Amino acid sequence: MTDVQNQEPEKKPQQPDESPWWVEGPKTIILSLFLALGIRTFVAEARYIPSGSMLPTLQINDRLIVDKVSYKFKDPKRGDIVVFAPTAALEKQNFHDAFIKRVVGLPGDKVELKEGKVYINDKPLTENYVRDPDRPDDPAQPKPLTLVNVCPSLQQSYLSKKVTVPAGSYLVLGDNRKNSYDSRCWGIVPREKIIGRAMVRFWPLNHMGKLDEQPPYETAK
């Protein structure tokens, strides 16, 4: 027996066959679309602002990223800006597109509107984000509406008297109270209708950044 065993010649690893571009191209596109749709469906999606109901916080044509994950682990907070699908009341009025408003009333809260001021559990809510009703209107923006015009019948509006927000539901208002079709008119938003929280504005570039990084509101105590 020798000290050195006979060895077979080394075999070079086989290189995988490269698929032609007309095969790899469509595969890459399909994979990219699959990932993009997966992210949009489960993680985040982009939205734009079509109206002035959230002035001055959000401007018309702002582009936002909506976080669709965090509310799977925690509940919306007062002050969050949320995107939600039309409620049953809105669907009856033939609304089909998503809305964006600010959470004001939480489940169990007693909410009242007196002389344009929001009261939570009989205490006034400080809302530094609300558009100043005495501020001169930008002629480039739609003409502001009075609440009478926003809610055709105040006697039938949801906040014509004090209400208690039901469990699993939220009361939402626009920051531009003179021109926002919101919970004052049609009621509450069920938890399951909330798509996600508006987190980041990515357009226009000069306003790019996280929304409410230092919230301009105070929670009612």
Query: For the residues of 151-213, what is the DSSP string, one character each?
Result: SS-GGGSTTSS-EEPPTTEEEEE-SSGGG--SHHHH--EEGGGEEEEEEEEEESGGG-EETTS
d(CA 45, CA 64): 8
Q: Quick one: which H or E segment has residue 105?
A: strand 99-105
d(CA 117, CA 147): 13
Farthest-apart Cα atoms in the chain, separation: 107
Which active-site residues does the annotation give?
53, 101
